[in-house]
Structure 1
Amino acid sequence: EKMIRMISGKQAGDLLLSFYFRYPPQHVRVKKIEETASIMLDIQLGNPLSARYPDLSSGLHGLTLLNRKEIDFTNPIYVSNYGTDWKLFIRTYESPVVIRPHFLYSLPPFPLAAAIKPTAETVDWLGKKNISLSRLQAWLQIAENLKIQLEKEENESYRKRQLLTYAECLVRADKYEEPYKLLQQITLTYPDTALATYADILFIYVLAGHEDPFLAAIEINKRQKKLPKKDPLLPYINIFQAELALETDHPKRADKILAADNIAFPEKADLLRLLRQADTYFMSSDTIKALIAYDKLEQKASIIGTHPRSLAQYGDTLYNHQRYAKAVASYQSLVKLINGTDLQPQAMFRLAMSRLHNGEKWIRTIPLFSQIRNAFPGSEGDFRARIKITDIKFLHGVVSADRAAEIYGQTGREANKKQLREEALVKQAMIQALAGNHETSITLAMKILRDFQHGKLTTETEALIISQLPAVLKKMTGDKRYIDALVLAKQNRKFFARGWLGIDLLFDLAHAYEQLGAYDRAGRVYQYILDVASEKDQEKAYVPMIRALYNSGRYDLVEDYGDQYFSRFPDSPAKAEVYLLRIKALRAAGELKAAVRLLERPDRPSSPEIEKTAAHIFFDLNKWQKVITLLTGKKPASWAGGERDYLLAESLFQSGQYKKAIPIYTRLSEEKPYTDQAMFRLAEIYEKIGKPDKALNLFKQLAEKGKDSRWKKLAEEEMEIIGLGLDTFERN
């Protein structure tokens, strides 16, 4: 709605002004102002609505986009889930807890060598003891047994199967170096055989678990294409491919792999497929589907509890869907499953939170959080527990606001995760707000916005500032801390620019600028208010803006805005004040004739200050009778005192009304700073009306006792003239 450009030029001796607007103006009114020899353009700006419906705009004399006092849903206070309820935030906010164990890659059923053709009875080459141990997953024990068997075995076919199975046991036992070398050796020793193929597949499992899952994904894709369509390993290779896609954060690819309809999945493989399908839903953020899939699988078998990643994701899904009783059971199992890993503290924290949400009394959950702190100092779980303990104790009145703020502040400095540092510091700022330390709270919140420019809690931090800023700025201006108020407002100027703070606050800031003498800046604030405010607030802004412009010496703008004001608000109760500022500005700018034209308007307002200024203007122009009329007419000025008497006496003197001037000058001769001038004028009057002795006496008195050297010198000169008998000398 702003003017884009203005161009001036001359055409046929006239001044031509061209205005360019974003939208065609709806209405233009030109007003000639004879008093100031100027014109005023009153332009009703266009907007998207008037541009779209020009006929309607013309018929209705303009379409206005109203500045309604409605909720701005871009305002952080309304965007935030917590509004301004900081206790609700402290009680309910939880930063995301990420528990991501690596996927346990699904190997085909043990032993792989059983699938090598020609088939042989597994018990014949593996032995009953090893088969029994496999059910206990005693892989290293089986490997030791096979090492002994290999030394004695004479059947070459059995030896090959035993060698592959030995390597397989090492892979299942999560060994790295020995199977890494052995499997490559088998591949090189028995090229182009099923033994080499299976060794290569096992090698890719080692690669995925200990080196690079991305490279493993490429290699297994190559190998899968070479397997026969009826190979019994194919369903498990399919699941392994999906697991690698999930491990490398490609859930869509995993979903596509698992959707293959050309593979027959045996029962065990199908359970794994369903598990990974649920994992795919979770990693695709489709948590409802994930919850349903995990629940169905949980009812079928206990497979979830053997896979740490799936169990962690199932627990997270249960927790976020507020199924806390089941979440407790899941996290209890997870804590045991990942015991001794870096993820254990986070799992223990989630377990404690699940119990708290499940209705367990807070006094019983505090020891659970304390246990995490004691067992894993400096861990993510430690800092999470520290924050939650402080939350609970503050909300239940166990620790004071000061102590809670201290703990949050310390955690905000020390926590090993950015999101935890941000959470702790935001809560510290909120505690200060709740304690009534609003200025401190805003200072902390502003630092958070600087330090966490892309933080997760930016909205809440901005809401914290916006909710407190008006009261803090009002208090600062009320306490006459104008510089502090203006600095704080400038630091948060984006909130003003976006309209998230009320117009009233802008008035306070403009007032603060005025109090500091920064009238130019005050004027700019008021001009901004005119651009964004409703008509009622605009009327309220005009007077202080014009006053600020006057005080900053922008007399031309005083006249421009004064004209606008009288045109838009002709019946305003403040028109006398605006009128006064206009004539004072014209006088200060030396535009006395323009000021007189305003003063001579019959409908001009009147006030003691206006009459006083008018008297000065007429006095400056030597319009003595105008001054006399103003000060002694039917409506004499209510202003009294030496200044008023001086103007009247001098006007009477200059207009030759000496007798009327005598009593006034007599009074002034007793009043500073007019004493010397009044005595001189009295002496002049007595000389003019034929009383030279009296005149000489006054000149002598002034020359001897006067304070102003100028009037003393003039008095001495007059005495010399009178003494020389030149009292009839014609004086100018």
Structure 2
Amino acid sequence: MREEILLKLGITLHLSGEPLRAIETLGKFRRNFASSPLRAEAEALMAEILPPEMENFIAKGEDLQAVILLEKYRELLIRGDGKWPFLPKLAKAFARLGLFDRGCRVYLYMIDHAKSDDAAESFYLPLASLYYDRDEYTLAEKYSKTYLKQYPKGSNRTALFLLRLRSLYKLARFEEAAELLQDKQYPRSTKIELMATQIYWELGDYNKVIDFANRLGDRGEAIPPSGLLLEAEALRRLGHAKQALPLYEVLAEEGTFGDQATYRCGQILIAKGERVRALKLFTDLVEKGKNALWRQLASDFIAAETY
């Protein structure tokens, strides 16, 4: 009799819009009447109530409460059909809580249990991104590569191509990254072209650095400071200081790499025989610069000049 009363109370609470109390009551039923013939009915109702309630917690920003509920009734949920429409939100909740491994496991579960390849497609980008953010670059590269192979025209192709390049860069597998860029059909984007300049810089292929930096300009885009700096440095390495000078002058004014660019301008002016202009730049750098390395180099030059 007691078990029937407790089960009916759980059902009533559920129908009355009190899901948390219903879950608590049905959970008490499971603990106290483990061998009851009504246990299956109680668990079926709990399995129905739990997913939307967890989703509600996530929607309200109460990620921890959703995770607590999951952990408390994990066994019951695992025995269900696994069709939880809120799983992508749960994976994000894990990530927000810093539980990256748990988030990755949820995405892997969704990929493995997706009804079709199309259904699994959207999970690769967040999965690979989580691995990348955890500094697990080998796994980030692995799942980026898998996606690009399975979905050559997928909607996340550009993002995962970039993520694969970044992962290979972090792994110092520069030659492999460069091979990807040799494919004429690689997806174009500002971030990919910038990544390419860094990859070819590491390989010492300065002509390629310049080529990829210029591709941004060819599309009518302003070359970001990091790309402009590598282009200027590549030109200087190739002995084209005259062409590099205006780029350094732009960077000196822009500010992001201002100290380095100012020092390079001074070096080039020295080579051109314009020592007075160079000395002024070095003096300004020592007085106003923010980067200790470039200030020190400028100071050393001034000291040598006035010795």
TM (norm. structure 2) is 0.88
Distance 2:49 2:230 in 1: 54
Q: 1:475 to 1:612 in 2, by over 3 A?
A: farther
- Relative to total residues, which structure has the larger helix share, 1 or 2? 2
Alpha-carbon offset, residue 561 of structure 1: 2.6
Q: Does 1:566 align with 2:153?
A: no
Counterpart position of 2:292: 709
Cα deviation digits, residues 123-154 of structure 1 (max 9, x gap) = xxxxxxxxxxxxxxxxxxxxxxxxxxxxxxxx
Give the letter aligned to residue 649 of structure 1.
A
Q: Does 1:681 align with 2:264?
A: yes
Distance 1:606 1:444 in 2: 57
Alpha-carbon offset, residue 584 of structure 1: 0.9
TM (norm. structure 1) is 0.39
Tell whether the 8 Å contact from 2:11 to 2:22 is kept in structure 1 after alignment: yes
Q: 1:508 aligns with which of 77, 83, 89?
A: 89
Distance 2:91 2:220 in 1: 33
* Identity value in percent: 30
Q: 2:130 aligns with which of 548, 555, 569?
A: 548
Alpha-carbon offset, residue 681 of structure 1: 1.1
Counterpart position of 2:205: 623
Distance 2:11 2:142 in 1: 47
Q: 1:638 to 1:499 in 2, by over 3 A?
A: farther
Cα RMSD (Å) of the superposition?
2.4
Secondary structure of the equivalent of 1:547? helix
Where does 1:333-482 land on structure 2 (aligned, <5 Å)? 419-420=1-2, 422-482=3-63
Tell whether the 8 Å contact from 2:251 to 2:258 is kept in structure 1 after alignment: yes
Distance 2:125 2:287 in 1: 51
Distance 1:580 1:637 in 2: 21
Secondary structure of the equivalent of 1:669? helix
Give the letter aligned to residue 156 of structure 2.
A
Cα deviation digits, residues 30-84 of structure 1 (max 9, x gap) = xxxxxxxxxxxxxxxxxxxxxxxxxxxxxxxxxxxxxxxxxxxxxxxxxxxxxxx
Counterpart position of 2:282: 699
Give the letter aligned to residue 134 of structure 2.
S
Q: 1:605 aligns with which of 172, 175, 187?
A: 187
Q: Please identify the structure whose Cα radius of gyration is greater.
A: 1
Tell whether the 8 Å contact from 1:612 to 1:637 is kept in structure 2 after alignment: no
Q: 1:563 to 1:707 in 2, by over 3 A?
A: closer
Distance 2:222 2:130 in 1: 25
Give the letter aligned to residue 265 of structure 2.
L
Give the letter aligned to residue 486 of structure 1.
V
Alpha-carbon offset, residue 520 of structure 1: 2.2
Q: Which has the higher contact order (CA 8 A, sep 6+)?
A: 1
Give the letter aligned to residue 60 of structure 2.
D
Q: Does 1:523 align with 2:104?
A: yes
Alpha-carbon offset, residue 639 of structure 1: 6.2
Q: 1:438 to 1:660 in 2, by over 3 A?
A: farther
Tell whether the 8 Å contact from 2:47 to 2:80 is kept in structure 1 after alignment: no
Counterpart position of 2:174: 592
Counterpart position of 2:239: 656
Give the letter aligned to residue 150 of structure 2.
R
Tell whether the 8 Å contact from 1:477 to 1:508 is kept in structure 2 after alignment: yes
Tell whether the 8 Å contact from 2:47 to 2:77 is kept in structure 1 after alignment: no
Alpha-carbon offset, residue 640 of structure 1: 4.6
Residue ranges of structure 1 left out of the alignment (5+ in a row): 1-418, 725-732
Give the letter aligned to residue 125 of structure 2.
V
Give the letter aligned to residue 214 of structure 2.
T
Alpha-carbon offset, residue 585 of structure 1: 0.9
Tell whether the 8 Å contact from 1:542 to 1:565 is kept in structure 2 after alignment: yes
Alpha-carbon offset, residue 499 of structure 1: 4.3
**Number of paired residues?**
305
Alpha-carbon offset, residue 676 of structure 1: 1.7
Residue ranges of structure 2 left out of the alignment (5+ in a row): none
Q: 2:165 aligns with which of 558, 563, 583?
A: 583
Alpha-carbon offset, residue 531 of structure 1: 2.2
Give the letter aligned to residue 570 of structure 1.
P
